[in-house]
Amino acid sequence: MEKLQKNLSPIPVKTWNWLGVNSAVLEADIPAITDYSKQPITKGSEKGVTITDIRLNRDTIKFMEKKMDVGASEAMRDFVKKNQNSGYFIEIEEGEKIGTPIILQYDLDEENPTLVDDHFILAHEKSEVNIIINYTSSCTKNGFHSGVTKVFAKRGAVVHLIKVQMLADQDTHVDTISAITDEKGQVDFTLIELGALQTITGCRTQLVGKNSTGTIHSLYFGDQNRKIDINYVQTHQARESLSSIEARGVLLDHSQKVFKGTLDFIKGSSGSKGKEEEYTVLLSPTVRNRSTPLMLCGEDAVEGQHAVSTGKMDENKLFYLMSRGLSEVEAKKLIIEAEFQPILEKVPVIELRDTISMYLRRRLNHV
């Protein structure tokens, strides 16, 4: 077990050890994995979509999986495969544009305190789909989630995947997404990390087909003693591929965050463009905020840029709102909500968006 907890979610190129960003360590012990007995699929029986137990499809996905990044670590990948207690193979037929989002709702509770989920999303040529996976918890102590989601967008396919994590304050969350895109394929991820005591999450997209696109919109919120480790990698392996990472977050109390974002231009990815931005607002003097925006480049005909900005809340905005009669707390809440809004709007289901907003407001009460 100890081996499992170390060297998680490494950055593609190591730097000085004293900065503590090369990899993450899972602090809580991994509990014995018990059954997850609830039915997570709340919506999804549309025409053009097949959702089956992943264990029935191991042979189909074996070949595709081989090409994919291992995610958090090889040990964790093997752990998920071995201990998986939920997981689906979601297949979208060629040319099918699925209007209604497919929703998987996982809720940890006293009977189901552990979840190890393993999913594979296969979008055939020119199909399009919205998938939402939402993790919540009413566990009173130490809920545990570890999971892997693999996405394969074939030629011209578009996959929008929205993951929302609102686990309970003592829970652990280790999650990885690995994606591959064929020519003109597109994967668009909205990743919202709000709960859990420790979060170790990663998303690695391999842009294998030319003119393919990978985007990540990320939102995180740290308060109390939360620890968040985020590791996104966009690998440009083909010509004229596009990628972007946009992350926004707020940290307060004693929370700690490590954000690692990599744009990797492999030789041969000429004409590709990548962009990465991270904005963090710090609201307490005791937070720790680490950012590691890497750019790796083996091809000259590319454009890559990244920008990181960290600081306090804009005092002019705060002053303006307070001059309009809002209390300081109200004004701060409003500014944070406004900061998060562009990413929350990516959630295609209004009810879920409202749930997230309510959850955030409740958490912001002590700002």
Partner 1 sequence: MDKKKTVVEDIDRGLYDIKNKDRYRYKASKGLTPQIVLDISKEKNDPEWMREFRLRSLEIYNQTPMPTWGPSLHELDMDDIVTYVRPDTEMKGKWQEVPDDIKDTFERLGIPQAERESLAGVGAQYDSEVVYHSVKEELVKQGVVYTDMESALREYEPMIKEYFMKLVTPNDHKFVALHGAVWSGGSFVYVPPGVQVEIPLQSYFRLNSPGAGQFEHTLIIVDKGAKLHFIEGCSAPKYNVTNLHAGCVELYIKEDASLRYSTIENWSRNMLNLNTKRALVEKNGSIEWVSGSFGSKISMLYPRSILKGEGARADFNGVTFAAGGQVLDTGAAVIHAAPYTSSNINSRSISKGGGVAVYRGAVKVAANAHHCKSLVSCESLMLDDLSRSDTLPVIDIQNDEVDIGHEAKIGRISEEAIFYLMSRGISEQEAKAMIVRGFAEPIAKELPLEYAVEMNNLINIELEGTIG
Residues that bind partner 1 (CB under 8 A): 13-17, 19, 21-22, 265, 267, 270, 282-312
303 vs 345, beta carbon nearer partner 1 = 303
Please state the separation of Cα 231 from the chain's center in Å. Answer: 9
In angstroms, give the least distance from the CB of 333 to partner 1: 17
- Which of helix, strand or coil describes residue 278? strand
150 vs 226, beta carbon nearer partner 1 = 226
How far are the Cα atoms of 56, 194, 279, 281, 316 from residue 332, in angstroms, in the given order? 50, 18, 16, 11, 12
- Which of helix, strand or coil describes residue 252? coil
70 vs 297, beta carbon nearer partner 1 = 297
In angstroms, give the least distance from the CB of 132 to partner 1: 32
In which residue are the tokens 């000259």 written?
Answer: 300
Write the DSSP assignment of 61-83 as a string of letters.
HHHHHHTS--TT-HHHHHHHHHH
In angstroms, give the least distance from the CB of 274 to partner 1: 9
In angstroms, give the least distance from the CB of 129 to partner 1: 33
In angstroms, give the least distance from the CB of 242 to partner 1: 15
Measure the CA–CA gap between 89 and 104, rounded to whole angstroms.
12
DSSP state of 127: -
In angstroms, give the least distance from the CB of 7 to partner 1: 12
Amino acid at 251: L
Q: Residues 6 or more apart from 221 whose CB is under 8 A from it?
A: 193, 194, 249, 250, 360, 363
In angstroms, give the least distance from the CB of 269 to partner 1: 10
182 vs 229, beta carbon nearer partner 1 = 229
- The DSSP bridge pattern shows strands 172-181 and 198-207 to be parallel
**How many helices, marked H, and strands, marked E, lie in the chain?**
6, 18
Measure the CA–CA gap between 272 and 265, rounded to whole angstroms.
8
186 vs 241, beta carbon nearer partner 1 = 241
In angstroms, give the least distance from the CB of 314 to partner 1: 11
317 vs 353, beta carbon nearer partner 1 = 317
Residue 57: half-sphere exposure toward Cβ, Cα within 13 Å? 19
140 vs 309, beta carbon nearer partner 1 = 309
52 vs 284, beta carbon nearer partner 1 = 284
User: Hey, how many other C-beta atoms are within 10 angstroms of the C-beta on 360?
Assistant: 20
In angstroms, give the least distance from the CB of 306 to partner 1: 5
Residue 359 burial by CB count (10 A; 0-12/13-18/19+): exposed, middle or buried?
middle
Residue 84: half-sphere exposure toward Cβ, Cα within 13 Å? 20
16 vs 63, beta carbon nearer partner 1 = 16
